């Protein structure tokens, strides 16, 4: 069987050659004795003289006939007349009918050979592609000349580092754990928002343990041809076993390991690949120094078989960095950048709430690009500030000549409402910047309101957040009238609507502590959400009317200066409140 498998290409080519030769030989013998041709007029003359003995009719262009005297066979044109056979019979000619068997056989044979040849070539090509993909399934990052990544290259993520510390010890000395009968997790699932450092953490685990790192994306296993993905999985684990130790990292595993259906619209290739992965992970021996690390942004979509003990039985969340971690990340990425004196990393860390590690790196990179454009040799506070606000709202629109004065006024009152509500509702909120300069992303202006870092939000704080969202529309209504409100508050209303819905159905802040979405009908939820939204909108409007002097001053200053920082806003509000 091995020899047949080895020479199957030669055998297939030989079979095609033999089939073609058979068709050509058959065609040769079929056409070898083709009779001579006689003009149709001469045929009619011989028919009238009674010298035609027999005629063989068919569907072809010619008919065969024989003479009575010599018996020789000739061909002539087929008149294809309906009364031709009757004419022959009345003349006493023997008439026979036959199809074009030889021609049909040749055409059929050629068709069969061509179709078989095309199918064979496609199958061999697909087979070659399958073999090629199976032999080169992944990029193996185990170059000894490459500097490994370690925990010193990762700022923050202290909890994650601690969670995987025993795994690193296991990768270094799997025999030590085997002596105590300890079984380390075969798989670790890193999950969290995009850009939090899941891939970097997996690479650092391999670097800390000093083992090879095998990186692959889940989409690399999902192929068009059935069986290719499973073959790549087997080849991946085979390479890892050859090294005895290592970290196999599968990024975006949800592309491969989504929950399997109930038989409807089943993807055979995906299921075969997932089954191969489950089988390979189950086949690890207890003392094998190999750990599979997977990353996903959506752990809720993964198949349950992946998450059971023996597979990915340890789940570690890689969350957004807190203020201390953000400062460490910023300091790490600023090491190779010429920072000017006076750049305050503490302030930048406070301002970048909800930024991921990747966003922080991108912010400093954009700041470095801004500095390179100036060409003064250092990266200053203005470069970082420009990059920060570009990341939040987009780049400033340079040509503002098309913006009408009335639209500037609407934007000024709208953003003043946000800034005033944020300052008055919660003193812990910090307004960093208010501007009416439109951005390239389509915003007419924006107000940056930085909340304090906290683990939980109270019911009051969530209501205050909703009021800040409503404040822009309220300010427009107060100054320009209810008939002249604009579409500028559409995004604010979307945010407020989502927050109101979560207030009632997710956090249990409504009339019932239970989840109303599961226990009540939709109409009851809608009624409670509408009542809450109306109440908070009325409170916001009353708050701005009570502090109309501060609102008016903020709008006037924005129209004059276009941009106010947090200190300017605070001074205006305090002065207006005191008077």
Residues known to be catalytic: 415
55-77 burial, b if ≥16 CB within 10 A, otherwise e?
bbbbeeebbbbbeeeeeebbbbe
- The set of residues, in sequence order, having a beta carbon less than 8 Å from that of 530 and lying 6+ positions away, is none
Asked whether the beta carbons of 47 and 93 are under 8 A apart, the reply is yes
Strand stretches in 341-473, DSSP E: 430-435, 446-450
**DSSP string spanning 11-65?**
HHHHHHHHHHHHHHHHHHHHHTTPPEE--HHHHHHHHHTT-EEEEEE-SSSEEEE
> Alpha carbon of 30 to those of 17, 72, 105, 510, 557: distances in Å?
20, 18, 10, 92, 101
Reported as type and span, the H/E element at residue 290 is strand 289-296
Rounded to whole angstroms, how far apart are CA atoms 258 and 252?
A: 11
Closest CA to 439 of 406, 403, 469: 403
Rounded to whole angstroms, how far apart are CA atoms 171 and 209?
A: 6
Burial (0-12, 13-18, 19+ Cβ within 10 Å), 134: middle
Write out the two tokens for 126: 């697909």
- The set of residues, in sequence order, having a beta carbon less than 8 Å from that of 384 and lying 6+ positions away, is 343, 348, 363, 364, 367
> Alpha carbon of 44 to those of 39, 51, 72, 77, 84: distances in Å?
9, 10, 17, 11, 11
Closest CA to 158 of 204, 119, 120: 204
> Alpha carbon of 266 to those of 261, 263, 271, 536, 543: distances in Å?
7, 6, 8, 48, 57
Rounded to whole angstroms, how far apart are CA atoms 265 and 258?
A: 13
What is the four-CA torsion angle of 533, 539, 542, 546, rounded to 10 degrees? -140
- Widest CA span of the chain, in angstroms? 137
The radius of gyration computed from the CA coordinates of the chain, to the nearest angstrom, equals: 41
Please identify which residue in the block is written with the tokens 């997996």: 202
- φ, ψ of residue 229 to 5 degrees: the values are -60, -45
> Alpha carbon of 351 to those of 159, 346, 364, 453: distances in Å?
23, 9, 14, 11
Strand pairing partners for 563?
A: 435
């Amino acid at each position: 069987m091995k020899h047949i498998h080895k020479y199957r290409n030669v055998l297939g080519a030989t079979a095609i050659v033999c089939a073609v030769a058979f068709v050509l030989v058959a065609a040769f013998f079929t056409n070898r004795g083709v009779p001579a041709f006689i003009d149709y007029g001469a045929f009619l003359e011989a028919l009238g003289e009674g010298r035609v003995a027999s005629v063989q009719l068919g569907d072809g262009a010619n008919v065969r006939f024989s003479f009575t005297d010599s018996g020789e066979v000739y061909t002539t044109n087929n008149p294809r007349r309906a009364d031709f056979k009757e004419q022959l019979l009345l003349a006493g000619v023997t008439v026979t009918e036959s199809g074009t068997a030889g021609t049909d056989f040749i055409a059929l044979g050629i068709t069969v050979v061509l179709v078989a040849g095309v199918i064979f070539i496609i199958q061999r090509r697909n087979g070659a592609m399958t073999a090629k993909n199976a032999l080169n399934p992944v990029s193996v990052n185990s170059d000894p000349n490459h500097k490994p990544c370690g925990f010193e290259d990762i700022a923050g993520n202290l909890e994650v580092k601690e969670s995987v510390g025993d795994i690193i010890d296991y990768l270094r000395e799997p025999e030590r754990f085997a002596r105590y009968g300890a079984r380390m997790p075969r798989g670790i699932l890193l999950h969290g928002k995009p850009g939090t450092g899941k891939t970097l953490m997996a690479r650092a685990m391999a670097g800390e343990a000093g083992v090879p790192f095998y990186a692959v994306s889940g989409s690399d296993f999902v192929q068009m041809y059935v069986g290719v993905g499973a073959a790549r999985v087997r080849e991946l684990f085979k390479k890892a076993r050859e090294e005895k130790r290592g970290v196999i990292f599968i990024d975006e595993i949800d592309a491969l390991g989504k929950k399997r259906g109930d038989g409807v619209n089943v993807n055979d290739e995906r299921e075969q690949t997932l089954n191969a992965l489950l089988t390979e992970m189950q086949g690890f021996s207890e003392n094998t120094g190999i750990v599979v690390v997977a990353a996903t942004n959506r752990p809720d979509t993964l198949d349950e078989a992946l998450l059971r003990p023996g597979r990915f039985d340890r789940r570690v969340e890689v969350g957004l960095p807190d203020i201390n971690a953000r400062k460490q990340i910023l300091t790490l990425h600023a090491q190779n950048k010429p920072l000017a004196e006076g750049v305050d990393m503490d302030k930048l860390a406070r301002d970048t709430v909800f930024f991921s590690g990747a966003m922080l790196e991108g912010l400093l990179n954009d700041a470095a690009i801004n500095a390179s454009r100036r060409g003064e040799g250092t990266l200053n506070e203005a470069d970082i500030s420009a990059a920060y606000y570009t990341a939040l709202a987009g780049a400033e629109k340079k040509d503002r000549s098309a913006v009408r004065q009335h639209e500037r006024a609407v934007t000024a009152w709208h953003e003043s409402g946000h800034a005033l509500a944020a300052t008055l509702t919660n003193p812990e909120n910090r307004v960093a910047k208010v501007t009416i300069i439109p951005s390239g992303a389509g915003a007419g202006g924006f107000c940056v309101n930085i909340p304090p870092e906290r683990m939980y939000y109270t019911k009051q704080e969530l209501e205050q957040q909703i009021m800040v969202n409503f404040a822009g529309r309220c300010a427009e209504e107060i100054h320009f009238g209810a008939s002249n409100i604009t579409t500028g508050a559409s995004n604010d209303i979307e945010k407020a609507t989502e927050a109101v819905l979560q207030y009632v159905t997710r956090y249990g802040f409504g009339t019932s502590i239970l989840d109303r979405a599961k226990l009540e009908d939709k109409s009851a939820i809608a009624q409670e959400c509408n009542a809450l939204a109306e109440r908070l909108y009325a409170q916001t409007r009353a708050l701005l009317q009570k502090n109309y002097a501060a609102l008016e001053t903020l709008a006037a200053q924005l129209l004059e200066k276009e941009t106010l920082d947090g200190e300017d806003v605070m001074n205006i509000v305090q002065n207006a409140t005191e008077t």
